Amino acid sequence: MIILLFAFILLFTTVLQAFMPKFLKQTEAFGVYVPEQYSTEKTVIRLKSKYTRVVLIAGLVILAGYLLWSLTQNPTEATLALISVGVQFSMLFISIGYYFMMHLRVKKLKEEQKWLSGKSEVRVVDIKFQDKLKLIPKVVFIIPMIVTIGLIIYTFIKYPEMPDMIPTHWGPNGQPDDFSEKTYFSSIAILLLLLVMQGMFLLMSEGMRFSGSKINPANKKTSLAQQLEFRKYTSWFALFISISVTLMMGYLHLQTIHPDISSAWVMLALPITFLVVVLFGVLIYAVKVGQSGSRIKIKEDSPNLEHSITAVDEDRYWKGGILYFNPDDPSILAEKRFGVGWTLNFGRPASWIILLLPLILILTIAFNL
C-alpha cells in the first residue's frame, strides 16, 4: 500500500510538473515575460515542448526504478520510507534544475532578438478592481478556526480522561508508533498547528484583495475578467483546503480523546483519502483555472493593440523567474510566473513576517512535543 501511495504521488507530481507550461499564460515562459507577438515564437514553443518531454521521461524512469527496487528488494519499513521520500525530492530537483536551464535560454533569446526594442511599456490599472472582486468573506475562513478553538476547550474539559501518553504519529499500518507524555500543551498541539494553517489560508485569501492586478494591455477585457475569476477560484480553493485539513486533523485529535471512534483501518484510510482528494483538487484547479486564470474561457475578447505597445517588463524583479523582490510594489502577494498560484513579494518586510512567523510557530510546537 505504501509503495503504491508513493508511486502515485511521484506519478502525479511528475505529470503536473511536466505539463506546467500548458497551464501558464502565453506571455510568460519559464519566468520570463514574453510580449504578445512573440508568444507563438517557434523557439519558445519548442523549449516548452522539450521541457515537458524531458521532465516526463525522467519522472517515468525514476518511477520505474523505484517500483523495481521496492518490489524486488523487500526493504525494511524505515528504508522504504527514506527512499520513497528521496525519489520525490530527486524528481523535484531534476525539474527545478531543468527549469533554470530553460529560463536562461528564454532570457538569452529575449535579449538576442530584442523583443522589447521600439515598444512602449504600458501598465493598465482598473481603479475599481477591488470592488469587482468576489472573494470568500473572511468570516467564512474564521468559522473553521472557531471550531478548532471549540475543540481546544473540549480537550481541556476531557483532559483528566485522556491517556497518559498522547499519540503523535501513526505508522503505515494505521497504528500509533510515536507518543508524547500528556500535558496541557501536548494535548492540544495538533490543534495549535491547525490554527496556524487556518490562519495562513485566511491571510492568502485576504492578501489577494490587496494584490495589484496584472492586466494585459493587448487584451484588457479578457485579461481583467480572467484576473477576477482567478482570484475568486483561488479563494474557494483555499477554503476547500482549509476545511479538508480541519476535518482530517480534527478527527485525528478527537480519536485521542475517544479511541473507540476510530480503528486501524480508518487511521490508514483517512490520510490517504485526504491526500488523494487534495491532489485531485490541485489538478482540477490547475487545469480549469491556470496561471492568472489563463485557462478560463471568456466569451468577449477585446481587439489586440498595435505591436508598438506592450505590458511593463518586470523581469528585473523576478530572481530566476521564481522569487519576487519589488520594494516599490505595495502588494504582499504576487502571481507566480512559473506555477499556478501565488508567491510572496520578498521586497516587502511584511512578507518575511508572514513567511517566518508561521514557520517559527510550527517548529516551536513540533520541538516541544
- Domain termination residue (choose one: 82, 117, 152): 117
**CA-CA distance, 336 to 290, in Å (whole number)?**
11
Assign 326 to helix, strand or coil.
coil
> Same domain for 109 and 157?
no
Residue owning grid cell 523535484 = 92
Residues 6+ apart with CB under 8 A from 226: 292, 293, 294, 296, 298
> What is the tally of structural domains in the chain?
2
Whether residue 130 sits in one domain with residue 103: no
Q: Same domain for 144 and 97? A: no
DSSP class of residue 338 equals S
Alpha helices in the chain (DSSP H): 2-18, 42-72, 77-113, 129-132, 138-158, 184-209, 220-257, 264-288, 349-367
pLDDT at 306: 54
| Structure confidence at residue 170 (pLDDT) | 67
Digit-coded pLDDT (tens) for 135-157: 999 999 999 999 999 999 999 99
Domain match, 246 and 310 both: yes
pLDDT at 58: 96
Asked if 60 and 182 sit in the same domain, the reply is: no
78 lies in the same domain as 46: yes
Q: What is the pLDDT of residue 302?
A: 53
Confidence of residue 219 (pLDDT cuts 50, 70, 90): confident
Looking at 62, 90, 117, which one is the last position of a domain?
Answer: 117
Q: How big is the chain, counted in residues?
A: 369
Residues 234 and 174 in one domain: yes
Weakest mean pLDDT among 237-251, 268-282, 322-336: 268-282
Residue 255 shares a structural domain with residue 191: yes
2 and 138 fall within a common domain: no
Q: Which pLDDT value is given to residue 171?
A: 63
* Cell numbers standing for residue 327: 520594494
Chain center to CA of 195: 19
Q: What is the mean pLDDT of residues 341-355?
A: 92
Torsion angle defined by CA atoms of residues 146, 151, 154 and 159, in that order, rounded to the nearest 10 degrees: -140
Same-domain status, 295 and 218? yes
Per-residue 3-state assignment (H helix, E strand, C coil) for 111-178: HHHCCCCCCEEECECCCCHHHHCCCCCHHHHHHHHHHHHHHHHHHHHHHHHCCCEEEEEECCCCCEEE
Average pLDDT, the chain: 88
Do residues 20 and 47 lie in contact, with contact meaning Cβ atoms separated by under 8 Å? Answer: no
Q: Are 12 and 275 in contact (CB under 8 A)?
A: no
pLDDT confidence bin for 212, thresholds 50/70/90? confident
pLDDT, residue 25, reads 86
Tell me, what's the pLDDT at 4?
A: 84
| Residue 175: pLDDT band with limits 50, 70, 90 | low
Crossing angle of helices 264-288 and 2-18, rounded to 10°? 10
Residue ending a domain, choose from 71, 95, 117? 117
Structural domain range at position 174? 124-369
Let me know whether 299 and 251 are in one domain.
yes
User: Do 4 and 88 have their domain in common?
Assistant: yes
Instruction: Write out pLDDT tens, residues 49-83.
Output: 999 999 999 999 999 999 999 888 888 877 888 89
